[in-house]
Structure 1
């Protein structure tokens, strides 16, 4: 039994049995390699060569290159994956684009000729209000008070001192307000300024007029309100010197209406040399807020100049009114003429300026 056990026992010396027990190898954590191509096959018994592993980024690059080649065939096609369906009809797309370009392309104007043609087209397409053609700045959407003001007062010769003083004040208010707003508050102007009687206005108390609770503060600024009272005092001096404010103001145009034959709105000026002359004389006499622009607006509205467009129906009406005033003044007695002694002042007419 001892011999049998000795034979079965393995000898671990170098000259003994070579069959040695295999020692267990401690397991190590397997780390994934950063590059998939560096992975080697763990099956050495396989003699077949392993197939090469493709990089996913290279596959994506190839697909992008193929898409780019497909998209470069037609620049008008879409850039998404369904570009084949859009590229199947390039002729229709190019045709529609060319048609849109031709329709929406604006026409170029060459110099002043293009401006004149444009203004002629706008004048031809001007809307008629109640069957009458008016100046182009009076549209069908304008306020009724503004349309009535254009038809009845603007450009008509005026010779009443109160009316002249009123329109001088309203022309100065145009620097802060517009004509529709001024005309809508005209009844407040007349109530505050005593129907524009220069004598009554000159007696107004400035402190009460410019007080915060005064209704006049809703009309004009404090400087404008003070200028109205000061101008009324200076107009009284002019009346004492010339007999009337009408005679003074019409004397600058030799008591003749200036008729301007303007065809387009761009020809109407904002001031003239005559307006500058009147403005300088008024400033010299102590009047305030009477610049050349204000004075020319005053000349337009009081009929010293007829700036209605020749296409407006009020143009001929204002010319006829000026002729009527001229005929009436010819019958005036020399004793009532005051300081107007020259032959030209005795025969009022109409000066026509062609533009």
Structure 2
């Protein structure tokens, strides 16, 4: 069996691929972390973001949604200056606005997970790609979720970001069919 090639020889990328990518998660803090990291990636490579993941975890108290929702402008500026994260102010401010939007969804649906997983009737979309070139950058479902999240006040949630996010939290399994980590091979 041949694994997905996108992690290359980067150990951090390989570990992410093997242990997290396309693995279903229903943990709101983890889901919020992935939404934040995918948004931070916009315009950058995933390896850069993963290299800064620990900085993000420290800066945002392991993506404690309540904590993130209450951050002041001054605290966000301090985070920008003192932590090893992407220094884009708009992306950093999105952590707070997205946390507030998540809290509103939690009040309405019970959890962010429930809201998101309703889009796939609680079952991941399992694709059977034979080459990485077959994987789309976005899908009609990522377009719909993106539109719905934007209406709810989320930032950095375009359809391409959301497709990657869906992979990150396991709503979509895009491991190659020949990859030992594909759902049917586990």
Establish whether TM, by shorter chain, passes 0.5.
yes
Q: Which residue of 1 aligns with 2:98?
A: 231
Residue 214 of structure 1, CA deviation: 2.1
Q: Is 1:187 aligned with 2:58? A: no
How big is each residue's C-alpha offset from its partner over 1:300-348, in whole Å with a ceiling of 9 and x where there is no partner?
A: 1111010000111101xx3477xxxxxxxxxxxxxxxxxxxxxxxxxxx
How big is each residue's C-alpha offset from its partner over 1:126-177, in whole Å with a ceiling of 9 and x where there is no partner?
A: xxxxxx73102233xx211110000000011111000000000111111143
Distance 2:80 2:36 in 1: 21
Distance 1:170 1:212 in 2: 15
Distance 1:162 1:223 in 2: 21
Say which SS state the counterpart of residue 157 (structure 2) adopts: coil
Distance 2:185 2:92 in 1: 36
Q: Is 1:249 aligned with 2:109? A: no
Distance 2:52 2:6 in 1: 21
How big is each residue's C-alpha offset from its partner over 1:99-125, in whole Å with a ceiling of 9 and x where there is no partner?
A: xxxxxxxxxxxxxxxxxxxxxxxxxxx
Q: Which residue of 2 aligns with 1:136?
A: 5
Tell me, which stretches of 5 or more residues in structure 2 are unaligned?
A: none
CA 226–216 in structure 1, closer or farther in 2 if over 3 Å, else same: farther
TM-score, structure 1 as length reference: 0.50
The answer as to whether partners of 1:173 and 1:220 remain within 8 angstroms in 2 is no
Residue 296 of structure 1, CA deviation: 0.3
Distance 2:84 2:10 in 1: 24
Residue 216 of structure 1, CA deviation: 4.4
The answer as to whether partners of 1:162 and 1:197 remain within 8 angstroms in 2 is yes
Higher RCO, Cα 8 Å, sep 6+: 2
Distance 1:275 1:226 in 2: 23
Q: Which residue of 1 aligns with 2:157?
A: 290
How big is each residue's C-alpha offset from its partner over 1:53-81, in whole Å with a ceiling of 9 and x where there is no partner?
A: xxxxxxxxxxxxxxxxxxxxxxxxxxxxx
Equivalent residues in 2 for 1:165-314, closer than 5 Å: 165-211=32-78, 214-216=81-83, 218-314=85-181
Distance 1:212 1:167 in 2: 18
Instruction: Give the alignment partner of residue 162 of structure 1, picking from 29, 36, 40.
Output: 29
- Aligned CA RMSD, in angstroms, stands at 1.8
How big is each residue's C-alpha offset from its partner over 1:217-239, in whole Å with a ceiling of 9 and x where there is no partner?
A: 74230000111110000100000
How big is each residue's C-alpha offset from its partner over 1:267-288, in whole Å with a ceiling of 9 and x where there is no partner?
A: 1000000000000110111111
Tell me, which stretches of 5 or more residues in structure 1 are unaligned?
A: 1-131, 322-355
Greater helix share, 1 or 2? Answer: 2
Residue 266 of structure 1, CA deviation: 1.2
CA 212–286 in structure 1, closer or farther in 2 if over 3 Å, else same: closer
The answer as to whether partners of 1:164 and 1:246 remain within 8 angstroms in 2 is yes
TM-score, structure 2 as length reference: 0.93
CA 161–319 in structure 1, closer or farther in 2 if over 3 Å, else same: farther
Residue 212 of structure 1, CA deviation: 8.9
Distance 1:253 1:302 in 2: 12
Distance 2:88 2:124 in 1: 33
Between Structure 1 and Structure 2, how many residues are aligned?
A: 186
